[in-house]
Amino acid sequence: MARTVASLPPGSRITDHISLGVLTKTFPLDKVQAVVAAAGKTSQRQRDLPAHVVVYYVLALTLYMQVSYREVLRGLLEGIRWLLGPEQAVQVAGKSGISQARTRLGWEPLKQLHDAVVAPIAVKGSKGAWYRRWRLVSLDGSTLDVADEPDNQKIFGRPGASRGTSAYPQIRFVSLVENGTHVLFGTQLGGYSTHGEIALAHKALPALKKGMLCLADRNFFGFDLWKKASATGGDLLWRVKKNLRLPCEKRLPDGSYLSTIYRTDKDRRAGANGIRVRVIEYTLDGVADAEPRYRLVTTILDCAQAPAVELAALYHERWEIETALGELKTHLRGSQIVLRSKTPDLVRQEFYGLMMTHFAIRGLMHEAALQVGEDPDRLSFLHAVRVVRRKLPHFAAIPPSAEKSLS
């Protein structure tokens, strides 16, 4: 299929827009170099694109999904030229050279950097991030379209459609989100056809920690996942399907009750290997399109610590993850934009770059909210992205040679 070369609007240059300052602050050079070295990807000789520069380049790509590879690189290298002086020659690699540099780096260093840095950032004074003593987080998953290439189709698969299959292969991912800051963390990536949300959720759960209260929709509830999630030390508040057997074993003063869940009917009959839960049932009277009844289960068995009416209201904070996913897929990636990488390894690389860029921007917004005592939810993510794109950084943190350090 013929493609139109991506470009900026007439009269504008990417160096007038590009900003990696917020990215280099979030992902410092020493940490990037350490991850690259640990993965055995450090450049062994002088190259146009040393490995640590490619890491920042991948992050830059996610800020400019509609801009060509070379144009993004030109903006990055012109920033380096500004640092070193106009007499320094700067070579802008061609598309094949960029692809080769990205392939040399691979996706593992990006994932390792993501896993090492991306984590909840709310502090005690962060508004909207806490319920009593708990840090609020949510669990959910989504999909992204990737380039329609044979290898991407083979590795990731594609969903069905009303007439055959969809236009693009897709990747599937599951994340935890810190509700108050919209930071997506613990993210696990898989193919659309080869990984279901529950399987990826099992892999994401180690990021759940003691002191967190995790919200999740009814599609995630199951005995094994609940058991694994509760074993992390975090507390849970998950919606369950209306046909799940949850007999009332003890009614509590706030109207909730204690029950027990089992993996199998055999265990239920024997009263063995069960897990005690607290059940909250409620209705939303006068709310359009509300379901007849909602059922939640929680690991917080003491109703004095978390009254049922508060948990019922709190559960609807789970929709914060939908907002965070919307930021990632629409405002940062761009509406109807397809991840552009042509091979599965570079798709993975691009995906983790996208997740890290979202984290960096959300960190910037959190800092701004703290300074004015505001809830980060009240700040515009799209505006923050535009600011990051608009500001020309000082690229002192990205020397063009792997052998040079920060000045």
Q: Does residue 125 share a domain with residue 100? A: no
Confidence of residue 195 (pLDDT cuts 50, 70, 90): confident
Q: Does residue 143 share a domain with residue 291? A: yes
Q: Does residue 260 share a domain with residue 167? A: yes
Rounded Cα gap, residues 224 and 229, in angstroms = 9
User: Does 391 fall in a domain?
Assistant: yes
Q: Evaluate if residue 81 carries a pLDDT over 70.
A: no
Q: Does residue 341 share a domain with residue 238? A: no
Longest dimension (CA), the chain: 81
User: Does 404 fall in a domain?
Assistant: no
Position 386 scores a pLDDT of 56
Q: Evaluate if residue 316 carries a pLDDT over 50.
A: yes
Cβ density class 362-376: b for 16+ within 10 Å, e for less: bbbbbeebeeeeeeb
Q: Closest Cα to residue 106, out of 141, 139, 146, 58?
A: 58
Q: Does residue 379 share a domain with residue 277? A: no
Evaluate whether 345 touches 58 at the Cβ level (below 8 Å). no
Evaluate whether 227 touches 270 at the Cβ level (below 8 Å). no
Q: Closest Cα to residue 272, out of 281, 264, 282?
A: 264
Q: Does residue 137 share a domain with residue 232? A: yes
Q: Does residue 77 share a domain with residue 29? A: yes
Q: End of a domain among 300, 325, 350?
A: 325
Q: What is the mean pLDDT of residues 118-126?
A: 91
**What value does the mean pLDDT of the chain take?**
81
Q: Does residue 101 share a domain with residue 169? A: no
Q: Does residue 220 share a domain with residue 272? A: yes
Structure tokens at 203: 């892999």
pLDDT tens-digit profile of 201-210?
A: 999 999 999 9
Q: Does residue 363 share a domain with residue 234? A: no
Q: End of a domain among 297, 325, 353?
A: 325
pTM above 0.85, yes or no: no
Give the CA dihedral 126, 390, 187, 34, nearest 10 degrees: -100
Range of 70-84, 120-134, 314-328, 391-405 with top mean pLDDT: 120-134
For the chain, how many structural domains are there in total?
A: 2
Q: End of a domain among 325, 348, 365?
A: 325
Confidence of residue 16 (pLDDT cuts 50, 70, 90): very low
Evaluate whether 241 touches 218 at the Cβ level (below 8 Å). yes
Beta strands 212-216; 134-145: pairing state: parallel
User: Does 332 fall in a domain?
Assistant: no
Q: Is the backbone of residue 68 left (phi > 0), alpha (psi -120 to 50) or beta?
A: beta
pLDDT tens-digit profile of 332-366?
A: 666 667 888 999 999 999 999 999 988 988 888 88
Evaluate whether 146 touches 168 at the Cβ level (below 8 Å). yes
Q: Does residue 354 share a domain with residue 259? A: no
User: Does 9 fall in a domain?
Assistant: no
Q: Quick count: other Cβ atoms within 10 Å of Cβ 224?
A: 10
pLDDT tens-digit profile of 151-187?
A: 999 999 988 766 666 788 999 999 999 998 989 999 9
Position 87 scores a pLDDT of 52
Rounded Cα gap, residues 353 and 63, in angstroms = 10
User: Does 374 fall in a domain?
Assistant: yes
pLDDT tens-digit profile of 37-77?
A: 998 887 665 556 788 888 888 988 887 777 777 777 776 66
Rounded Cα gap, residues 316 and 131, in angstroms = 13
User: Does 49 fall in a domain?
Assistant: yes
Position 132 scores a pLDDT of 94
Q: What percent of the chain has pLDDT over 70?
A: 76
Evaluate whether 239 touches 315 at the Cβ level (below 8 Å). yes
Position 333 scores a pLDDT of 61
User: Does 402 fall in a domain?
Assistant: no
Rounded Cα gap, residues 385 and 380, in angstroms = 9
Rounded Cα gap, residues 51 and 385, in angstroms = 26
Q: What is the mean pLDDT of residues 90-115?
A: 84
Position 86 scores a pLDDT of 55
Confidence of residue 264 (pLDDT cuts 50, 70, 90): very high
Q: What is the mean pLDDT of residues 88-113?
A: 81
Range of 79-93, 196-210, 311-325 with top mean pLDDT: 196-210
- Sequence-distant (6+) residues with CB within 8 A of 201 are 139, 141, 174, 188, 220, 225
If one compares 225 and 289, the residue with the highest pLDDT of the two is 225
If one compares 90 and 69, the residue with the highest pLDDT of the two is 69
Single-letter code of the amino acid located at 41: K
Evaluate whether 381 touches 327 at the Cβ level (below 8 Å). yes
Q: Does residue 255 share a domain with residue 173? A: yes
Position 17 scores a pLDDT of 36
User: Does 7 fall in a domain?
Assistant: no
Please tell me what DSSP assigns to residue 220: G
Q: Evaluate if residue 398 carries a pLDDT over 60.
A: no
State which residues form the domain around 253.
Answer: 118-325
Single-letter code of the amino acid located at 136: L
